[in-house]
C-alpha cells in the first residue's frame, strides 16, 4: 500500500517512539514512576516517547501546533494545522506488564481530523487512516463489523477509577448495555478500542471522561472503516464533552439510545 507523505511522517514518529516504549516495557519493573494524580501514573517511558514524537513531527513539519497529553498545548506559527498526540495510551496496562497500550497521533487541519496513526508496539500492530483514503492495519484494509443487533454485539468501554469519573452514572450505563449485548470488554486504551471497532474486532465502543488525544486518531479510523462516531447524545461534540460512542450505523444508533436511559 502506498502511503502519503504525511502518513509516512506520522508512522515514522510512532515507530520510533514505539521502539523506545518496547524497550522500556521489557524493563517495566525498573521504571521510575511519579504520581500525577490518584490512579494516574506517568512514567519516564511516557515522557521519553512524547519527546521523540515531538522532535520527529517538529522536524518534519515546522510550525505546526501541538496538543499533547504531557506537554499540553504548544502554539506553532501555522494555526491551520495541529498535531494531537497521546504518547502512551494505556499507561496503567503498561506499568502492570499488560501488552495493551498504544501511541496515538492525529493531524487536525482547520478543525477537521485528516490523518491518524495508532500503534501498539507490543503486538506490532500499526493502524493508519487518512480522510477519504480508508483505514488500514499493517496495510490491510479495515471495515467495521456488519452485525446490526446489540444482542449479537461485543461492545468495548472504559470505566472510571479512583479519582476519575462519576461512578454512579457509569454503573447505570454499564447495567443498561450489559442487559442488551453479547458481551462487554474493557481494554484500557481508548485509542485501541476505537482501532478494534474499525477492524471489526469489537462491534461498538463508548466511554466518558476522555481527552482529545485519547480519541482523535480513533475517530478518523472508525469513520474511514465505514463506521460512525458521536458524543453520548449523538452529537458532534466529542472533544468538548469528553464522551464518545462508535460503531456501524445500526450499532451506533442503538448504543446511543441505550446509554441515554437513566435507569
CB atoms within 10 A of CB 36: 12
**Which residues fall within 8 angstroms of residue 94, CB to CB, at 6 or more apart?**
21, 25, 28, 43, 45, 88, 101
**Residue numbers belonging to the annotated binding site for Mg(2+):** 69, 86, 88-89, 214
Q: Report the candidate in 155, 141, 153 with the shortest Cα–Cα distance to residue 194.
A: 155
Give me 29's grid cell. 519493573
State the first-to-last Cα distance of the chain, in angstroms, to the nearest integer.
Answer: 48
Binding residues: 69, 86, 88-89, 214
Amino acid at each position: 500500500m502506498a502511503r502519503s507523505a504525511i502518513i509516512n511522517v506520522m508512522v515514522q514518529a510512532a515507530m520510533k517512539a514505539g521502539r523506545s516504549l518496547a524497550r522500556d516495557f521489557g524493563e517495566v519493573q525498573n521504571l521510575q514512576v511519579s504520581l500525577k494524580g490518584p490512579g494516574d501514573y506517568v512514567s519516564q517511558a511516557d515522557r521519553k516517547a512524547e519527546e521523540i514524537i515531538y522532535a520527529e513531527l517538529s522536524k518534519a513539519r515546522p510550525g505546526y501546533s501541538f496538543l499533547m497529553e504531557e506537554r499540553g498545548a504548544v502554539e506553532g506559527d501555522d494555526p491551520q494545522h495541529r498535531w494531537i498526540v497521546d504518547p502512551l495510551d494505556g499507561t496503567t496496562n503498561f506499568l502492570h506488564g499488560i501488552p495493551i497500550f498504544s501511541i496515538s497521533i492525529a493531524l487536525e487541519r482547520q478543525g477537521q481530523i485528516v490523518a491518524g496513526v495508532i500503534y501498539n508496539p507490543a503486538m506490532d500492530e500499526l493502524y493508519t487512516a487518512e480522510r477519504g483514503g480508508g483505514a488500514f492495519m499493517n496495510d490491510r484494509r479495515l471495515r467495521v463489523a456488519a452485525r446490526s443487533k446489540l444482542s449479537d454485539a461485543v461492545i468495548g468501554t472504559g470505566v472510571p477509577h479512583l479519582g476519575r469519573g462519576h461512578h454512579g452514572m457509569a454503573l447505570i450505563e454499564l447495567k443498561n448495555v450489559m442487559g442488551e449485548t453479547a458481551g462487554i470488554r474493557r481494554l484500557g486504551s481508548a485509542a485501541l478500542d476505537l482501532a478494534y471497532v474499525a477492524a471489526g474486532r469489537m462491534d461498538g465502543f463508548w466511554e466518558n471522561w476522555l481527552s482529545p488525544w485519547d480519541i482523535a486518531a480513533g475517530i478518523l479510523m472508525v469513520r474511514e472503516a465505514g463506521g460512525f462516531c458521536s458524543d453520548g447524545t449523538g452529537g458532534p461534540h466529542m472533544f468538548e464533552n469528553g464522551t464518545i460512542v462508535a460503531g456501524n450505523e445500526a450499532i451506533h444508533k442503538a448504543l446511543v439510545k441505550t446509554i441515554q436511559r437513566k435507569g
